[in-house]
Every structure is written in structure tokens, then in C-alpha cells.
Amino acid sequence: MTTRPRERLLFVPPDPPPMSFAAYRSIQALNWSALKHLSRSPAHYLARLLDPGVDTASLKRGRAVHVAVLEPERFASLYAVWDGRRSGKDWEAFEAAERLAGREVLTAKEYELAKALAIAVRGDPVAARYVTGVRTEQSIGWTYRRPEFEGLAGYEMACKARLDAVSQLGIVDLKTSRDGSPSAFGREVLRLEYHVQAAWYVDGYRAQTGRELPWSWVVVEATAPHVVQVYQATEDVLELGRERYRELLDLLHACQRDNHWPGYATSEMPIQLPRWAWPQDEDVEDIGLEFGSQEESHAF
């Protein structure tokens, strides 16, 4: 009996129920934005949980780029430009009016950059297929179940995610990068654990909808000429990310169970320097030198 190879999904499955961002944030469940801090240490995760932080200028610029690329028809209605000093009565009146209208304020430089990145992505014949006709900000929720294993009790964890976009080609994650070349972005994926995020979203989408979608990164460089590249997450990359988020969930469960949130280590440890800090041994055979006995070396 032969098995049919898994076919690439060429249609869009039913949408998860629409949900506002405020409603999504109110859901008491774990998301990747919180879990990723556990990769540094449980102490950092707990600190982030107790103090989520404030909205930063970098986050605002990122949101503007996402809207410009994925929802260009809404960009002008959601963003306004102010390029003067952000102080004084004129600024306060302008900001209040824009906030009332539901618009965020960008500088002229931020506004033009968002538009330039959108033109680059949507003008790229490959990337355009991934960002055209998408459904944005899809909220999903599921329960992760860890069965009992080798005498360790199982557990359940409520999880959630909000996807950048879902298209006919799968789940799309838009990234801006200083260097979008294959080797540089590959390092960035590992360093920032983008592959773990990808597995988290793919698995969550499958848990809610019963369908598994491919995952792709649409990467656009932040500086001119704004080169665009689409990268697809292969199954082995997703499996690597899957193993990692499961490790983090196990760690989180242990921390919650014991109410213990350690830092990097619970005792002294030797300092670790990068490999390049150490002198590299050279193979003397490779450099053409020959050595005799000690007596021979002193016989002049």
C-alpha cells in the first residue's frame, strides 16, 4: 500500500472568529511574546509578566510598516504626520485630535519609510503573492497538553497567538531587517528564535482549525534599496522550533509548580568566553616545518 505525499495547501481554510486586539489581550493565556523571555531566564519571564512595559517608538514604527505593507488601503486613515517639536500647545492639540480620530502620529521620515517598504514588498513579484489578499491579525487560542512522561505528571497550558497574516500560501510573517541575505537572516532566525515562534503559530493554528499551513517570512531590508526576500520554514526548522517551545513550556510548568523563578544558575559557575577569544592551535605539519631531536636542534 502506497501513501500519498502531503500536498501543499493551495486554499484558504475558514477564518478563526474575528477579534479585536483589546479582546485578544484580555484572554488569560500564554503567548509567544511572553514565553520568549523564559529563554533568557525564569527571572526575566516573571519580571516581564509583572511589568509588561510600555509601547515604544520602535513598536509603533513596526506596526506602521505592517499596516503599510499588509493593509495599504487603511494606512492613510490610521496614521498622521507631524514633523515638528513634540511639545507646546500646537502639538498637544494635534495629538489629541489624532488620538480621538484613532490615528497614530509618525514623523515624516517614519511615514515615508513605511511607504517605501510597502512599495518594495508589494512591487516584488514573489513577495506580492504572499501579501496580497491576506487576512490580517488572526487571533487563535488552544490548549497545549503534555501527557504524563516517565513518571512525571502531565499538565495543560492555555495558549494564544495573533498572526500577522494568512494568505492562500499559508501563514505570513513580515520582518524588517538590516541584512536580509540568506546567511544573515538565518543567524537572526536562530538568535531571535523566529523558528520557535513559527512552530508555535503553526501548531496553534492546526490545534484550532484542524489544518496545518506552511510558514513563510517576507523579509525587507530597512535601508535602500530595500531588498525583499521570501524564506520558507522547512519541516526540520519547524521541528527544531517545536522542540524548543516544548522545553520552555516544561520549564515554565516547573517554575509555576514550585513557585521558583531562578536567574541564569543557582550556584557559582565558570565564566564562558566565546571560542574566538582563545588562540587556535595550528597543525605544524600544514605549514611545512620539520623538527628533529633536541640534540639535533642544537647542533650548529
pLDDT grade for 41, boundaries at 50, 70 and 90 = very high
Write down the pTM of the prediction. Answer: 0.83
Copy the grid coordinates of residue 142: 488552544
Decide if pLDDT at 236 tops 90.
yes
* For the ranges 10-19, 102-111, 215-224, the one whose mean pLDDT is highest: 215-224
**Residues with Cβ within 8 Å of residue 165, at least 6 apart in sequence:** 70, 130, 131, 134, 135, 136, 138, 171, 172, 173, 174
Between 126 and 294, where is the model more confident? 126
Task: Of 126, 133, 113, give the one whose Cα is nearest residue 11.
Answer: 133
Answer whether residue 122 shows pLDDT above 70: yes
Answer for the pair 231, 180: CB distance below 8 angstroms, yes or no.
no
What are the start-end ranges of the E strands in 2-92? Answer: 79-81
Quick one: pLDDT at residue 6?
A: 43
pLDDT at 177: 95
Q: Considering only CA atoms, which of 27, 62, 30 is closest in space to residue 45?
A: 30
CATH architecture of 18-31+125-257: Alpha-Beta Complex (3.90)
pLDDT digits (tens, 9 = 90+) for 152-164: 789 999 999 999 9
Q: What is the mean pLDDT of residues 269-281?
A: 87
Q: In which order are the strands placed within the sheet that holds 155-167?
A: 135-146, 155-167, 170-177, 215-221, 228-232
Cell of 100: 480621538
The Cα angle at residue 27 between residues 22 and 33, in degrees rounded to 5: 85
Inter-axis angle of helices 194-209 and 182-191, to 10 degrees?
70
State the average pLDDT over residues 229-249.
Answer: 97
β pairing state of 79-81 and 104-106 = parallel
Highest-scoring range by mean pLDDT, 77-86, 144-153, 253-262: 253-262
As a whole number of angstroms, the distance between CA 224 and CA 70 comes to 20
Specify the higher pLDDT residue, 280 or 296. Answer: 280
Q: Which of 20-29, 64-73, 166-175, 279-288 has the lowest mean pLDDT?
A: 279-288
Q: Name the residue with higher pLDDT: 11 or 126.
A: 126
Q: What band does 287 get if pLDDT is binned at 50, 70 and 90?
A: very low
The total number of residues written for the chain in this structure? 300
- Element housing 239 (H / E): helix 235-258
- Compute φ and ψ for 30, nearest 5 degrees: -85, 130
Q: What pLDDT, on the 0 to 100 scale, is given for residue 279? A: 87
Range with the poorest average pLDDT among 74-88, 182-196, 283-297: 283-297
Rounded distance between C-alpha atoms, residue 275 and residue 284, angstroms:
21
pLDDT of residue 141: 94
**pLDDT of 19:** 82
Q: Do the beta carbons of residue 170 and residue 215 sit within 8 Å?
A: yes
Q: What is the pLDDT of residues 3-40, one digit of tens each?
A: 434 444 444 455 676 788 888 888 999 999 999 999 99
The answer to whether 64 and 104 are in contact (CB under 8 A) is yes
pLDDT category at 298 given cuts 50, 70, 90 is very low
Domain with CATH 3.90.320.10 in the chain: 18-31+125-257
| CA dihedral angle for residue 91, residue 92, residue 95, residue 97, rounded to 10 degrees | -120
Which is higher by pLDDT, 282 or 203?
203
Q: What was the pLDDT predicted at 292?
A: 45
